[in-house]
Structure 1
Amino acid sequence: MDSAAPTDNARVALLLREAAALLAAQGANRFRVAAYRQAADGIAALARDVGALFEAEGRAGLDALPGIGPGLANAIAEILSTGRWGLLDRLRGEVDARLVFRAVPGVGPALSERLHDELGIDTLEALEAAAHDGRLAGVRGLGERRAQGIAAALAQMLDRGRPRRAPPPAAEPEVSVLLDVDREYRARAQAGELPTLSPRRFNPGGQAWLPVLHTQRGDWHFTALFSNTARAHELHREHDWVVLFFHDGDQVQRQHTAVTETRGPLAGRRVVRGLEPACERWYARAGGEPAP
């Protein structure tokens, strides 16, 4: 065995087990917890160095490992490429998209902050999705050409330069489901029923104030938290904007942000940013009330 193998395999397995432990402590679905633990056991027992495997075969090689799949392959690729894992940072209350995105060549401190605030994302997975669906090019001061350069750097970083076709548009929960998770989170947070995190940013006293919800709707698993971002604090919306992270059975993480609309026909109502037309249609069908 490569002398470096125990280091890479043990490090990845340790982070997967920590994620499983935090998810369990925060009340996440037991099958999701079990998936991370089983992946950790598989990586720890792997005869080959997982870093060497990724170097040789990219995410496809990770995805082919027993018990891994595309979502966990993305997570392991992020760990090996950047030394960080956005999901684990989020579970710890330490997420800082400025550091996550600065690992991508061509992304500096100011741009990393804009990517986080304007796109409402904090993972490399979400940044890659934004590059493919055109949202990245729309970020203030970026433009199509620079967005393409960042997309290429991101692909090279995560897949070691192997050409990949753009993924097909991913299925997402209905707007009614997203709004219902938002409703559950805000109600239970207000009632003090949720475990709380001590976020690293904007929390000089180290207080455990950020509620976290793990819940499920059908095949969709959700994690919900208030948006602890510079923009949210600047606008005093840190207890209004709710970031909804979700994945299906493949564990591929995506996210949306729910807010109270301040203008237009939906003013005063909860909407999902980027899905306002769908929210308006749903409110019209539902008689103006959120999902029960």
Structure 2
Amino acid sequence: RLLERLEGEVSPEDLFCTLPGVGEELAHRIHDTLHLETLEELEVAAHDGRLATVPGLGERRIHAIRADLEEVLRQSTRQRARQRRLREAGHDVPDNHPIDTPPVRLLLGIDAEYRRDAAAGKLRRIAPRRFNPTGEAWLPILHTERDGWPFTALFSNTARAHELGKTSDWVVLFYEREGHEDQSTVVTETHGKLKGRRVVRGREEECLRLALGEGDTS
């Protein structure tokens, strides 16, 4: 993928310049001050306060850099996983190719299986590149298949999940059909009729109908 090629073939300063609003001079100041090498390291520095020590960087600009890094790294992670699966399937498709959506009952079932097995220590653990400066293999990962859907489940490792202390609550489910990938996030609802229940973000109404015994929807 492009990000991996950039990280392997260009200087850290040139890599930082790929972010909107980071010019050559600022990129040099960041590298000279913090000696960072990758976008993942830059993201950690943007959240732990070190980026604020770079001369000329104010809170507003740091906030913009954090947002840009979140988007770039989120997209690159999804794209890397998607491209790997496409290569394994032996074909390629446009990024905007539509995909069916698994029913919420199925998604909630995978979420429950993942959290149960993670708590029991049954799952392999990986070392995510983001927010993991020590390289610790702490993130449990589940690969499974249900009703013709291949799933990969893991706790959210986004900046927001870390900020809110939700890295052991929010579960991201990646799924695919015919080589086309998408994802859903399952969380514990904090208010309303579903408070305390697990819900699929963006599909709360379906989760409510399921909880009320009105059947599953897809």
TM interval, shorter chain, is: 0.5 to 0.7
Q: With the length of structure 2 as denominator, give the TM-score of the two structures.
A: 0.59
Name 2:100's counterpart in structure 1: 171
2:52 matches 1:123: no
Structure 2 CA distance, aligned partners of 1:121 and 1:267?
33
Q: Name the % identity.
A: 48
Q: Which of residues 191, 194, 200 is equivalent to 1:263?
A: 191
2:204 matches 1:276: yes
Q: For the structure 1 residues 116 and 257, does the alpha-carbon distance in structure 2 shift closer, same or farther, using more than 3 Å as the test? A: farther
- 8 Å contact kept, 2:123–2:140: yes
Between Structure 1 and Structure 2, the one with more helix by share is 1
Name 1:136's counterpart in structure 2: none
Unmatched 5+ stretches in structure 2? 6-14, 23-63, 82-91
2:119 matches 1:190: yes
Structure 1 CA distance, aligned partners of 2:150 and 2:67?
30
Name 1:112's counterpart in structure 2: 68
Q: For the structure 1 residues 262 and 252, does the alpha-carbon distance in structure 2 shift closer, same or farther, using more than 3 Å as the test? A: same
Structure 2 CA distance, aligned partners of 1:272 and 1:106?
34
Give how far 1:253 is off.
1.3
Superposed CA offset, 1:208-235 (max 9, x none): 1100000000210000000011111111
- 8 Å contact kept, 1:259–1:272: yes
Name 2:151's counterpart in structure 1: 222
Structure 2 CA distance, aligned partners of 1:256 and 1:247?
11
The 3-state SS of whatever aligns with 1:212 is strand
Q: For the structure 1 residues 234 and 192, does the alpha-carbon distance in structure 2 shift closer, same or farther, using more than 3 Å as the test? A: same
Give how far 1:123 is off.
2.5
2:163 matches 1:208: no
Q: For the structure 1 residues 208 and 114, does the alpha-carbon distance in structure 2 shift closer, same or farther, using more than 3 Å as the test? A: closer
Letter matched to residue 237 of structure 1: K
The 3-state SS of whatever aligns with 1:247 is strand
Superposition pairs of residues 21-32 of structure 1, within 5 angstroms: none
Letter matched to residue 68 of structure 2: S
Give how far 1:83 is off.
4.8
Superposition pairs of residues 11-26 of structure 1, within 5 angstroms: none
- 8 Å contact kept, 1:182–1:224: yes
The 3-state SS of whatever aligns with 2:144 is strand
Letter matched to residue 213 of structure 1: L
Letter matched to residue 227 of structure 1: S
- Aligned residue pairs total 153
Q: For the structure 1 residues 120 and 260, does the alpha-carbon distance in structure 2 shift closer, same or farther, using more than 3 Å as the test? A: farther
Between Structure 1 and Structure 2, the one with more strand by share is 2
Superposed CA offset, 1:124-174 (max 9, x none): 499xxxxxxxxxxxxxxxxxxxxxxxxxxxxxxx99xxxx8x64x521110
Structure 1 CA distance, aligned partners of 2:185 and 2:159?
15
- 8 Å contact kept, 1:120–1:257: no
- 8 Å contact kept, 2:186–2:201: yes
Q: For the structure 1 residues 277 and 103, does the alpha-carbon distance in structure 2 shift closer, same or farther, using more than 3 Å as the test? A: farther
- 8 Å contact kept, 1:240–1:260: yes
Letter matched to residue 206 of structure 1: G
Structure 2 CA distance, aligned partners of 1:215 and 1:281?
26
- 8 Å contact kept, 2:99–2:180: no
Superposition pairs of residues 1-292 of structure 1, within 5 angstroms: 79=1, 82-84=2-4, 109-113=65-69, 115=71, 122-124=77-79, 167=97, 169-248=98-177, 250-285=178-213
- 8 Å contact kept, 1:120–1:256: no
Letter matched to residue 234 of structure 1: E
